[in-house]
Chain A
Amino acid sequence: MANIAAQRIRREIKEVMKNEETAGASIKLELIDNRWTELKGEIGGPPDTPYQGGTFILEIKVPETYPFNPPKIRFLTKIWHPNVSSVTGAICLDILKDQWAAALTLRTVLLSIQALLAAAEPNDPQDAVVAKQYREDPHMFEMTAIHWTNVYAGGPTPVFEFNQKVRVLTEIGVNEQVARVALSTYHWDIERATEEIFSIYP
């Protein structure tokens, strides 16, 4: 059955090339090491979202049993989104689990992930902390997501206040990523974040 998987991946890459060149949608698909088992996906942040202008890289692992079972996909680019783990990049999306259908392709899956960025589902969260913020403090969520998009995905909008706060913590020796996660989690309250960091990493 590996034959079907390899042949399909080859066709799908062609399909993405053909469609995206004409449609102008920001999706890319690349084989890694000329093996069909692992690919690199890339999606552009949808317009009118905090992810606009960012480029998000995805790790795609194709099982032997593809397309009868779904590909395993996670974000390699760090992202602040209720349905994506801010730590591991794991995605909570039904079609990657029990709603998978064999006629879905990597292209349609990447488009679905892109659509998920535009319409989060906070009631089915992957990252509880982000989802809580999304529900309870939408403005804080949006600014945090814009900040993460700027720092990790090459987004165009820097959030100076947040950059400043991260710098304060890195200057006292805190790892940058640790500082950013703690600050994002505690609504950019430096004292809360510092407290939390030094209780976890004494």
Chain B
Amino acid sequence: MAETSEAQASASASAPGGDAGQEEEKHDERMLECNICLDTARDAVVSMCGHLFCWPCLHQWLETRPSRQVCPVCKAAISRDKVIPLYGRGNTKQEDPRNKVPPRPAGQRTEPENNSGFPGFGFGEGFHMSFGIGAFPFGIFTSTFNFGDPRPSAAPRGTAQYEEEQFLSKIFLWVAILFVLWLIFA
């Protein structure tokens, strides 16, 4: 790298329009800036090599060079399936950003709406329990004892939603046990 120690400190620039009020950007904030648009990352994803992007920005980069999919920062191999979406606190939707932007015509997986049945339970969004009412006793069983499965929609450990899911799962477990006891002793 060329080091120009004796060169005069020279930088001139003229920016159009005035966002002069934002001059004082904190260093902390730059940590969360997208490496492509240089703005705060929205629908953030992080690559395996640790670089942060807006998903729309990264998606457009991958579309621009389909034959050469590399990280825009470090040029490590990168692909749609090898980025991790980031969900901050207050981001209630927790929708995978990768499902929103890509105009992939076929095979797009849409999440079911959660307002069917059991309105009284007040499930949080993103809480996907599938148990059939038709096969009530067994359905309860399967849905109850399946909690070990790594579901794609499972909330990340440590979040409020994760706690809520754990709590609800315990309730269902107890309901199921009581139901079995009732079947045996009734």
Residues A46 and B12 in contact, CB atoms below 8 Å apart: no
Least CB distance, B6 to chain A, in whole angstroms: 6
Residues B13 and A4 in contact, CB atoms below 8 Å apart: no
- Which chain B residues in 1-24 approach chain A with CB under 8 Å? 1-17, 19, 23
Q: Which residues on the B side are within 8 Å of A14 (C-beta)?
A: 13, 15, 23
Q: Which residues on the B side are within 8 Å of A12 (C-beta)?
A: 38
Dominant SS among interface residues on chain B: loop
How many A-B pairs have beta carbons closer than 8 Å: the answer is 110
Q: Which residues on the A side are within 8 Å of B19 (C-beta)?
A: 10
Residues B11 and A47 in contact, CB atoms below 8 Å apart: no
Residues B4 and A11 in contact, CB atoms below 8 Å apart: no
Chain A residue nearest in CB terms to B34:
A103
Confirm or deny: B70 has a beta carbon within 8 angstroms of a beta carbon on chain A: yes
Number of A residues contacting the other chain (C-beta, 8 Å)? 45
Confirm or deny: B111 has a beta carbon within 8 angstroms of a beta carbon on chain A: no
Q: Give the interface centre of A4, A12, A69, A118 by most chain B CB atoms within 10 Å.
A: A4
Residues B75 and A4 in contact, CB atoms below 8 Å apart: no
Chain B residue nearest in CB terms to A3:
B37
26 examples of A-B residue contacts, CB within 8 angstroms: A1-B60, A7-B39, A11-B39, A12-B38, A13-B15, A16-B13, A17-B12, A20-B11, A22-B9, A24-B4, A24-B9, A30-B12, A31-B15, A34-B14, A44-B4, A47-B3, A65-B64, A67-B36, A67-B37, A68-B61, A68-B64, A69-B64, A101-B72, A103-B73, A111-B2, A114-B4
> Assuming A13-B15, A25-B4, what are 17 further A-B pairs, CB within 8 angstroms?
A14-B13, A21-B9, A22-B9, A24-B4, A24-B5, A24-B7, A24-B8, A26-B7, A26-B8, A31-B15, A36-B16, A44-B4, A44-B7, A67-B36, A102-B57, A103-B36, A103-B51
